[in-house]
Chains A and B, each alone.
Chain A
Amino acid sequence: MEIYRIPILQIEDFLVASIQTPLHDAAAIQFKDDLLERIYSTKARGFVLDLTAIDVVDSFMARIVADVAEMAGLMGARVVVTGLQPAVAISLVELGVEMAGVTTALDLDRGIRILRELVAPEREQADG
């Protein structure tokens, strides 16, 4: 069965992915694998995961997101999750699901700005 793969774009040395369709578990896991593979092969310093189009995030999805952030961090990339809808945020908080260690921002624009700030000192170090 063909699993719909989520497109991962590259902007400067950041990666950006925007999830547009409801993800079933197998697709979510596939996405996680694809992403870590891309971070590794591009040596990306940062990754923005945009969830604007997602209207339900349950404990499984939240776990995947938190895992992605942690794993990407181990590979040297910062992750920012953007676009969580108020309804989704409320459900997550009431569900009691923690996305500990996950940086969030209102939208893609803010997300990239935050990534630049987070990554900048590291870059300066690398250049200097």
Chain B
Amino acid sequence: MTAEKLSTSQEFERQLAALQRVAGVFGAMRKGQDIYDQITHQVVDLLNVEKCAVLLYDPDQQALVGQAPAVGVPTQDIRGYVIPLAEGSPARQFWEVGDSFVVKDIDADPVVQALGLADFAHKVGVKSTMLVGMRLEGQLIGVIQPSNRRDGLPFDETDARLLTIYASQAAVAIENQRLYQAITAERDRLARVLATVQELSTPVVPVLEGILILPLIGFIDSDRAQRIMEGLLNGIVQYRAQVVILDVTGVPVVDTGVADHLVRAARAAGLLGAQPILVGIRPEVAQTIVGLGVHLHEIATRGDLRDGLEYALAVLHRKIVTAEGQHVGR
């Protein structure tokens, strides 16, 4: 084998080994731990450098903005680190064309000078640095910026290639993180909306002085029955109701479960001094209830809401509410 071919195959082996390290490094990413923390530490190990930071592209500012935490750069400094990319910026060309940008010497590099970042570089102790773009579906979403190889040498092509491969994975990880946060925020928002809807779907309607109507609509499961009962009792306290009309006209199914809940709600209302009246039991529902052997005899019932209201008024205006009418559980 010629000397040339030998060095090529050695190079190939080295690159293969490096790729395997990247794969291994990514496999070690842990959920929950700050993603920038993980990326910057992994790159520090991968390239054997002193510092590393992640910058993300902010479309509002049209600039790359440093993300905390970074390795080797204090948090307050990294947050103020901004590379403008707007039309006319010296860095714009990199953004549109290149995948990687190597700075061998901070003081001599024209782009660094043009961007006015030399002072910042000196402040945080950066001597040589490299920027590698993170691409997601062709779009650049940010850069990874390692600085100061520990061996003191400038960044070379191998470093750039290695980091480019890593960066494509990092881009996916960052996007996943963003999606996850967006989904969690949306889920929380929906939970709050749902809670509000549930509140609204068990309304009590105060009518005249001392009469409360609870219109029930739709199917009532155990959870909903609980909320209905709470809403009813809180309504009795709030509106100082002396009569509550439970209107089940809009409830399609009244089985033993629902009947039990209704009876309990009525009894609880009675304990708060409010007489319960049940209205709106349709023929098929009446048949179901009797067929199931459920007895609602302790609750006053009337055909429809109007009849219920008439009865309620009679109850209120009776000079003396009879002891029987007020007793609970008879």
Residues of chain A whose beta carbon lies under 8 Å from any beta carbon of chain B: 78, 82, 84, 86, 88-90, 92-94, 98-106, 110, 114, 117-118, 120-121
Whether A103 pairs with B330 at a CB distance below 8 angstroms is no
Asked whether, in the complex, the Cβ of A86 is within 8 Å of the Cβ of B230, the reply is yes
B328/A100 in contact, CB under 8 A: yes
Residues of chain B lying within 8 A (CB to CB) of residue A88: 271
Task: Give the complex CA separation of A82 and B236 in angstroms.
Answer: 13
From residue B103, how far is it (CB to closest CB) to chain A in Å? 68
Q: How far is the CA of A121 from the CA of B237 in the complex (A)?
A: 29
Residue from B229, B272, B330 in contact with A104 in the complex, judged by beta carbons closer than 8 Å: B272
Q: How far is the CB of A125 from chain B (nearest CB, A)?
A: 13
Residues of A within 8 A of B146 (CB): none
Q: Once bound together, how far apart are the Cα atoms of A78 and B230, in whole Å?
A: 30
Q: Which residues of B contact A101 (CB under 8 A)?
A: 327, 330
- When chains A and B are docked, how far (Å) is the Cα of A37 from the Cα of B234? 36
B240 at the interface (CB under 8 A from A): yes
B224 sits at the interface (CB 8 A): no
- B interface residues, tally (CB under 8 Å): 25
Given A86-B233, A106-B240, A99 contacting B273 (CB threshold 8 A): no
> Are A90 and B328 in contact, CB atoms less than 8 angstroms apart?
no
A93-B264 contact given A99-B329, A103-B327, A106-B237, CB 8 Å threshold? yes
Please judge, given known A-B contacts A100-B329, A118-B323, whether A86 and B264 are in contact too, CB under 8 Å: no
* In the complex, residue of chain A having the shortest beta-carbon distance to the beta carbon of B273: A105
Q: Chain A contacts of B69 at CB under 8 A?
A: none
Separation of A103 and B273 alpha carbons in the complex (Å): 8
Question: Which of B264, B273, B330 gathers the greatest number of chain A CB atoms within 10 Å?
Answer: B273
Q: A100-B327, A103-B323 are in contact. Are A110 and B273 (CB under 8 A)?
A: yes
Q: Are A104 and B234 CB-contacts (below 8 A) given A93-B264, A118-B320?
A: no
Given contacts A89-B269, A90-B268, 6 further A-B contacts (CB under 8 A): A88-B271, A89-B272, A90-B229, A100-B329, A100-B330, A105-B273
Asked whether B319 is an interface residue with its Cβ less than 8 Å from the other chain, the reply is: yes
CB closest residue in chain A, given B265: A93
B267: interface (CB < 8 Å): yes
